[in-house]
């Protein structure tokens, strides 16, 4: 059972889409919605400036006090961002009020990924945008706020695309790993018969769900379908999602090679970057 959903907000289109998903789930599940706006401290903290002599072999550094105008500039940025954050949270509270959804608004300053992983501990599911304010810049390496949150969150995370659509058809790539088992259990216990279509995707080699898992789904009245495909899930999952007109992907945080995937880049990271659908990641 889900008692509270948490959503990270930064004012971007992606985070507003994450809010719409969080609001949709909160309304359907009858739970509280907590919105967290993180004022990024990297934008508000005055940079520390040092000077050192060219021939200073001891590498001694001398602190240079900031110019008053520079200090005033950063003070204004912080004030503007705090005002923007408060305005966003006020609008979201009004939106939840219209749907009679219990709402909690939190404004904090700090590193977004760190603050969100702290704040989501009060809830059962964290919603974030797949990208943030810098979505216009291409990413080629790991390190975005979304990926940092996915790697460190103590709660399941739903990474949401820029556009919202009601999630009714869920696709679950299943590989028999412990993470996949936990993802299946979380989805059943948290959402029950929430989905109109529960599609399980497996490779030809893995042969899909075992008889024990089928009985588990049947016992909870989860109507499911099984699709088997050749090749790796990383190559087929998005193709199957498009073909089946799925609305959401459910995956375990790691497959059968957790350490290797963490270092080299797993199916989870691939889908987080490439999926046009929201991705629900369970640990």
- Domain span including residue 63: 46-76
Q: How many domains does the chain have?
A: 3
- Say if CB 144 and CB 27 are below 8 A apart: no
- Say if CB 111 and CB 42 are below 8 A apart: yes
Residue-wise pLDDT for 237-279, tens only, equals 999 999 999 999 999 886 544 444 443 346 788 888 889 999 9
For residue 90, count other CB atoms closer than 10 A to its CB.
Answer: 11
Per DSSP, the residues of 250-274 read: EEES--S-HHHHHHH--HHHHHHHH
Radius of gyration of the chain (CA): 22
Q: Is residue 12 part of a domain?
A: yes
- Say if CB 134 and CB 253 are below 8 A apart: no
Q: Is residue 235 part of a domain?
A: yes
Residue-wise pLDDT for 86-109, tens only, equals 999 999 999 999 999 999 999 999
pTM here is 0.88
Query: Which of 101, 126, 158 lies at the terminal end of a domain, its last residue?
Result: 158
Residues 238, 172: one domain?
A: yes
Q: What is the CATH number of the domain that holds 112?
A: 3.40.50.620
Residues 19, 139: one domain?
A: yes
Residues 134, 173: one domain?
A: no
Give CA 216 to chain center in angstroms.
27
Query: Which of 115, 138, 158 lies at the terminal end of a domain, its last residue?
Result: 158
Residues 133, 186: one domain?
A: no
Q: Is residue 257 part of a domain?
A: no
């Amino acid at each position: 059972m889900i008692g509270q959903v948490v959503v990270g907000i930064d004012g971007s289109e992606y985070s507003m889409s994450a809010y719409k998903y969080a609001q949709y789930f909160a309304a359907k599940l009858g739970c509280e919605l907590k919105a967290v706006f993180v004022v990024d401290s990297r934008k508000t903290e005055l940079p520390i400036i040092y000077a050192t002599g060219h021939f200073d072999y001891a590498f001694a550094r001398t602190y240079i006090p900031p110019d008053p105008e520079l200090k005033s500039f950063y003070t204004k940025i912080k004030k503007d961002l705090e005002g923007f954050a408060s305005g966003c949270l006020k609008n979201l509270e009004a939106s939840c009020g219209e749907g009679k959804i219990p709402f909690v608004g939190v404004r904090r300053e700090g590193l977004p990924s760190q603050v969100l992983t702290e704040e989501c501990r009060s809830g059962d599911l964290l919603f974030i945008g797949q990208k943030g304010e810098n979505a216009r810049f291409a990413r080629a390496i790991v390190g975005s706020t979304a990926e940092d949150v996915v790697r460190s969150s103590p709660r399941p995370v739903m990474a949401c695309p820029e556009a919202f659509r009601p999630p009714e058809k869920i696709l679950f790539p299943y590989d028999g790993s412990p993470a996949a088992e936990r993802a299946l259990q979380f989805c059943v216990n948290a959402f029950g018969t929430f989905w109109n279509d529960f599609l399980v995707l497996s490779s030809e080699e893995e042969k899909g769900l075992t008889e024990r898992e089928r009985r588990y789904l049947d016992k909870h009245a989860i109507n499911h379908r099984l699709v088997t495909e050749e090749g790796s899930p990383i190559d087929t999952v998005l193709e199957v999602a498009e073909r089946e007109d799925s609305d959401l992907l459910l995956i375990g945080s790691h497959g059968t090679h957790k350490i290797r995937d963490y270092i080299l880049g797993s199916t989870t990271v691939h889908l987080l970057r490439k999926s046009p659908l929201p991705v629900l990641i369970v640990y």
